[in-house]
Structure 1
Amino acid sequence: MSNQREKLFTEFPPVSTQEWMEKITADLKGADFQKKLVWRTNEGFDVNPFYREENIKGFSWLDNLPGQFPYVRSTRKNNIWYVRHEIDVKDFVEANQKALKLLERGVTSLGFHIPKNAISIENIATLLDGISPEKVELNFKTCISRTVELAKVVVNYILSRNVDVMKCFGSIEFDPFRKILKKGQDVPDWVEQAAEMVQIAAPLPRFKAISITGNMFNDAGAYSYQELGYALSYGNQVLSALVEKGLNPTLTAKKIKFEFGVGSNYFMEIAKFRAARWLWAEIVNAYKPVCPNDCDNKAPDGTCRCAAKMNIHAITSKFNQTIYDPYVNMLRTQTESMSATIGAVDSLTVRPFDEAFETPTEFGERIAVNQQLLLKEESHFDKITDPSAGSYYIENLTFSLAQQAWKLFLETEETGFYQALKLGKIQDAIDTSAQARAKALANRKEILLGTNQYPNFSESMAEKMQKSDDHSCGCSNGENTQLKKLNMTRLSDPFDTLRLATERSGKRPKVFMLTIGNLAMRSARSQFSSNFFGCAGYEIIDNLGFNTVQDGINAAREKNADIVVLCSSDDEYAALAPEAFELIKGGKEIFVVAGAPECMEELKAKGIEYFINVRSNILETLRMFNTLLGIK
């Protein structure tokens, strides 16, 4: 095959980078290459429109195979990941029955959320009845104040089963800084609790005890480099503190598990997981953990390379889930699942599409599981490891993202992750990013289909809304709440709030498209305006066109319109807009011109106030119309 491939390519003359650039420059016809084709990412680096082999020279991992240090390509030779599903345990018998059904449907990993006042070996036995710890990855979470107690119970239960502990995978998730991130509450004795967790879980070598929840940064709106940089600093803070306390670095590193969110930036997310493994391997390697065994994966100096393997659990993003047009959430989570599995995560949770507005239904949960099974059983994503390897683009993304994350890691290390959290530096940085993304959404520079673009005009969601359940244990106990917490607002929340207000007002405004003049322009502007006002849940009345402005105004009043949008061409607005405005003046209708014509200032001088166009902040504009229409 290699000889045939060589003969094939020798039939084509080589093309140099210089020749490519000359051709591109000619095609641009004088336009600036950097401004026109180079993309400046939110991660802080530029992405070129094309890459060549010369762009990946010097990348140290290129000759490595999957499973080789520093694990850019994967920590294992295969790409078999755990299909995980979360179960909020209220009744242990019911939770057990649900778990058994999920296992029959292809789930291979279970995440149990245990009530803090129901931790006992009897309840754990009931929960795991018929479930083998050697066959299923088992993960447990409870209130941080009771996690140590839960760890003791789980470890004792598994050991009592006389199983092969080397075949038992899972975690008891102790997140040292979850209280700060979620509630603004400090846990001053986190080092002691973390150390105890590591020691309790030691008899189960494949069980993790410390959870580094980078996914919380993702759900709060962090960019990929922030999620990665802060998660690495978080992990290093825990590792260094426990090593200083006297714990074995090899044991400690092997007890740490990372949780990352997965956003919709497809290739960037693939690169994120590759960069994460690389950087964490280098961090752990700096501690020189000693290999206790005669192992093939031992460095020449005796350093344990297995300890440097990052265990990654990925969770599809909560930040970009929407209430309206919720089935689009399936499309988002599907591409996110693809990014995660191509990026070789160890386990994956797909959020049900309806999670944003209700307790997930059985249908929603089954679809979430099947999304992963499709990737395995029909798309065969588990049959090849790191298919992105060698892609000039993804290899460069991996390197550039790693650089930005490492820079942030070093900046955070100067203060220390824990101290930076207490000062609110990390929370402020992520909140700034979330605000920037919200602004981009309001200006349609970032798109959420069904929310700020192409909404379902007739959709109603207010009656489907349920009170959210954040699995909070409510254990504030009068503790200090003066620290900053992460703002966990979803990206679509302002738009959802706007549209729900329209629904709940009981008076759905009617927007009438007064289409006249140039056929192409009136159709384009009518479509734009329909999508614009549809994002607030208004009723849209479109039209094929009118012969006169008077005919359009008469038709609008017959329909009892609240807003009349003039849709025509810029050249025709100078005459048509003042005529329409005069005919509407004195009526209840709000007059709007679609576009930003050169005569806008002249039209404003004649009393026309409202214009909508591609430069409009859609969120603020629609809020203004809601106020004008008496919708609160």
Structure 2
Amino acid sequence: MAEKDINLFKDFPPVSTDQWFEKIKTDLKGKDYERALVWRTNEGFNVQPFYRQENLEDKGYLNALPGNFPYVRGNKKQNNDWFIRQDIQVTDLTAANAKALTILNKGVTSLGFVITGNKAISGSDLDVLLKDICLEAAEINFVVSGNVAQLAEAFIGHTRKRGYDLKTVNASINYDPLSELVLKGKMAASDAETFTSVKNAVETSAEMTSLQVISIDGKNFNNAGSSIVQELAFSLAMGAEYLSQLTELGVNAGIAAPKIRFNLGIGGNYFMELAKLRAGRLLWSQIVSAYKPECHCDETCDCEEECKDGICRCAGKMKVHSETSIWNKTVYDAYVNMLRTQTEAMSAALGGTDSMTVLPFNSFFEETGEFSERIARNQQILLKEESHLDKIVDPGAGSYYIESLTDSIAEEAWKLFLEVQEKGGFLAAFRAGFVQAKVNEMADKRRKAVAIRKESLLGVNQFPNFSEQAKIEFGKNFFEPVSQKVDGAEAEPICLFRGAEEFEKMRYATDTFAKANRRPKAFMLTIGNLTMRKARAQFSSNFFAVAGYEVVDNNGFASIDAGVKAAKKANADIIVLCSSDDEYTEFGPQAYELIKDDAILVIAGAPACADELKAKGIENFVHVKTNLLEALKDYNKKLGIN
């Protein structure tokens, strides 16, 4: 008979947090705990090296079940399924329909029809665009800039004409005049006209409860270099602005809130992005409750006992569409983008997103094709069919680390949200420049972090592909931040940019220069101490390869004279002396005298004798504290590369 109630841990006495700290401090051997192990995040809080049960004691939401207020654990009770979305650029209705049917057969469950211009979509247009598409089997989304109320009415009419129950069809229309202000500095119409239009869209679509007509594009903050806290706080503030404007126009929050969808970017900070979605649901449910939404649900209401005080809790369910970020994607070593989007997709899935777009790895620099689109689709399909991430509700629940991150993000985002509210709400805060100032401050911080390699972009500022050359000709302004500012802008808009742009601009200049001349060559003059010369040669090879230079590494030279002769024979433009600090005192001046103006001499490292070497005319040093971007720009300038 099997034994019961066996205590498997009886031989392992409990260990207190203080005991853990004492052990850690002993292992650190005098190093400062805060400096060595505590992570200082861009989000305004520190991440500790370990968390324990006691870190969860003050988290009031931990007893909430999945599908219940405040929805930290997700909107669903039974599973973690999400819609797999792919967007289609609509220039021809018949062609768009054909592509939609094709990708639906390849695993897509959500279609995004991107309709440029101000073309009004009529019921007859929808008959062509949505022909043979089962509206109950796929989520339908429209990205338009035209009359939203008219489109909502046409879509409801089309749905009803085809015999579908309006309650069983999931759809959205991406209408977000506040994001127009954010990107262009001005809305297309006056405040009164704009929010009257929003009201008309909400009221027109009221009977179709699963049709959202307001989409808050928080992803724009993400792609402008904001922190996770800023993206979340400003997105929530935009949502609160819509609710305030609509309730003032007489629309109850119980009708307005379910019409809002949040489009959030998902970056490479794996656990933070996961926790962001959980924190977002927590805060949005509290914000909506403050507007005292009336229950407009039917017999399928999920509020259960929570509606007793007259507030419809399920109106505060945050509907989130996640899209992989552009900010951390790269032109060089572009296939690495697949790895980035895979971890981002995992963050969104584990965080409980409602739908997701994985952008193809090349979507931002060339027209996507069947290969890149197929890979992007399959990344989500694999997460469902092989990893089964759609089967378990809120897999991160109970994790000391994830719960602590959720709480910290929620706390910091709430503080920033309240700052926006104190300035009169999102509209007033943006027009006063508060929002832009915060985003720009963080963007500048992240630019610097990329420049000094504190924030890594594999293949660009770390471990570049030495042999890669640009295969595409890019326009003059491709590597510049994107400004969509319009004439007559009433506020300075935010600029979208990628963290890799400045490095890529520099490397592309090298590639262009090499076509007309020859590729600059960096030669490693390795000598002396075996360990130090190999380590410094490896570091320096990566350093100069970032700029697209041809790198020549060497096993070692018997003398400086032999090394310099080999460098000159190789037509080196830059000669990097790689040795130990002690040996630089002798080797540095020797190399300088032999090289003179034939090439640029660089010392690998920051030796104690640096001042002595500088006094003898040696000016160039590269080491881990060097600002990589500025240094390489300077070398490009010296080599005549613009």
Using the size of structure 2 for normalisation, the TM-score is: 0.94
Determine which of 198, 202, 215 is the counterpart of 1:194.
Answer: 198
Task: Confirm or deny that 1:516 pairs with 2:518.
Answer: no
Determine which of 397, 422, 439 is the counterpart of 1:430.
Answer: 439
CA distance in 2, matches of 1:6, 1:382: 35
Paired residues of 1:352 and 1:367 also in contact (CA < 8 A):
yes
Task: Confirm or deny that 1:226 pairs with 2:230.
Answer: yes
- 1:480 Cα deviation after fit: 2.3
CA distance in 2, matches of 1:586, 1:357: 40
Partner residue in 2 for 1:63 = 63
Task: Confirm or deny that 1:254 pairs with 2:258.
Answer: yes
Partner residue in 1 for 2:324 = 316
Partner residue in 2 for 1:481 = 489
Question: Taking every aligned residue pair, what percent have the same amino acid on both sides?
Answer: 51
Partner residue in 2 for 1:377 = 385
Paired residues of 2:433 and 2:491 also in contact (CA < 8 A):
yes
Q: Secondary structure at the match of 1:382?
A: coil
Q: Secondary structure at the match of 2:69?
A: coil
> After alignment, is 438-447 or 415-424 more displaced?
415-424
Determine which of 459, 473, 476 is the counterpart of 2:468.
Answer: 459
Paired residues of 1:291 and 1:304 also in contact (CA < 8 A):
yes
Q: Secondary structure at the match of 1:177?
A: helix
Determine which of 274, 280, 283 is the counterpart of 2:284.
Answer: 280
CA distance in 2, matches of 1:127, 1:66: 37
Task: Confirm or deny that 1:492 pairs with 2:493.
Answer: no
Task: Confirm or deny that 1:365 pairs with 2:365.
Answer: no
1:150-183 per-position Cα deviation (integer Å, ceiling 9, x unaligned): 3333233223222111110010111021221222
Paired residues of 2:148 and 2:213 also in contact (CA < 8 A):
no
CA gap of 1:518–1:5, structure 2 versus 1, over 3 A, is farther
Partner residue in 2 for 1:613 = 623
1:419-457 per-position Cα deviation (integer Å, ceiling 9, x unaligned): 111222212211111111010010111100000010001
CA gap of 1:5–1:597, structure 2 versus 1, over 3 A, is farther
- 1:283 Cα deviation after fit: 0.6
Partner residue in 2 for 1:42 = 42
Partner residue in 2 for 1:82 = 83
Partner residue in 1 for 2:139 = 137
Partner residue in 1 for 2:26 = 26
Using the size of structure 1 for normalisation, the TM-score is: 0.96
Q: Secondary structure at the match of 1:222?
A: coil
- 1:119 Cα deviation after fit: 2.5
- 1:363 Cα deviation after fit: 0.7
Paired residues of 1:140 and 1:173 also in contact (CA < 8 A):
yes
CA gap of 1:284–1:586, structure 2 versus 1, over 3 A, is closer
Q: Secondary structure at the match of 1:381?
A: coil
Q: What amino acid does structure 1 have at the position aligned with 2:303?
A: N
> After alignment, is 431-440 or 14-23 more displaced?
14-23
Gaps (5+ residues) in structure 2? none
> After alignment, is 391-400 or 148-157 more displaced?
148-157
Paired residues of 1:462 and 1:503 also in contact (CA < 8 A):
no
1:43-78 per-position Cα deviation (integer Å, ceiling 9, x unaligned): 111111111111101211211211010000001111
Paired residues of 1:155 and 1:200 also in contact (CA < 8 A):
no
Q: CA RMSD in A?
A: 1.9
Paired residues of 1:357 and 1:466 also in contact (CA < 8 A):
no
Q: What amino acid does structure 2 have at the position aligned with 1:435?
A: D
Paired residues of 1:357 and 1:468 also in contact (CA < 8 A):
no
CA distance in 1, matches of 2:4, 2:431: 62
CA distance in 1, matches of 2:484, 2:583: 65
Partner residue in 1 for 2:609 = 599
1:563-622 per-position Cα deviation (integer Å, ceiling 9, x unaligned): 1111111111001011001001142x1111111100001100101111111111100111
Matches for 1:159-558 after TM superposition, within 5 Å: 159-186=160-187, 187-188=189-190, 189-292=193-296, 293=298, 295=301, 297-298=303-304, 299=306, 300-415=308-423, 416-463=425-472, 465=474, 480-505=488-513, 506=515, 507-558=518-569
- 1:302 Cα deviation after fit: 2.9
- 1:346 Cα deviation after fit: 0.2
Determine which of 121, 124, 137 is the counterpart of 2:123.
Answer: 121
CA distance in 2, matches of 1:165, 1:431: 43
1:237-260 per-position Cα deviation (integer Å, ceiling 9, x unaligned): 101110111012111011011111
- 1:149 Cα deviation after fit: 3.5
Q: Secondary structure at the match of 2:7?
A: helix
CA gap of 1:620–1:479, structure 2 versus 1, over 3 A, is closer
Q: What amino acid does structure 2 have at the position aligned with 1:594?
A: A
1:126-157 per-position Cα deviation (integer Å, ceiling 9, x unaligned): 111111111110000112x4434433332332
- 1:6 Cα deviation after fit: 6.7
CA gap of 1:84–1:281, structure 2 versus 1, over 3 A, is same
Determine which of 591, 595, 598 is the counterpart of 1:580.
Answer: 591
CA distance in 1, matches of 2:26, 2:150: 69
- 1:25 Cα deviation after fit: 2.0
Q: What amino acid does structure 1 have at the position aligned with 2:311?
A: T
CA gap of 1:475–1:183, structure 2 versus 1, over 3 A, is closer
- 1:467 Cα deviation after fit: 9.4
CA distance in 2, matches of 1:386, 1:467: 46
1:547-571 per-position Cα deviation (integer Å, ceiling 9, x unaligned): 1111111111111111111111111
- 1:101 Cα deviation after fit: 1.2
Q: What amino acid does structure 2 have at the position aligned with 1:408?
A: L
Q: Secondary structure at the match of 1:576?
A: helix
How many residue pairs get matched? 623
Paired residues of 2:169 and 2:210 also in contact (CA < 8 A):
yes
Partner residue in 2 for 1:101 = 102
Paired residues of 2:218 and 2:262 also in contact (CA < 8 A):
yes
CA distance in 1, matches of 2:259, 2:88: 23
Q: What amino acid does structure 1 have at the position aligned with 2:246?
A: L
Partner residue in 2 for 1:157 = 158
CA distance in 2, matches of 1:151, 1:6: 62
Q: Secondary structure at the match of 2:575?
A: strand
- 1:35 Cα deviation after fit: 2.3
Gaps (5+ residues) in structure 1? none
Paired residues of 2:86 and 2:111 also in contact (CA < 8 A):
yes
Partner residue in 2 for 1:631 = 641
Paired residues of 1:141 and 1:147 also in contact (CA < 8 A):
no
Q: Secondary structure at the match of 1:513?
A: strand
- 1:465 Cα deviation after fit: 4.3
1:207-243 per-position Cα deviation (integer Å, ceiling 9, x unaligned): 1011111111111111010011111111001011101
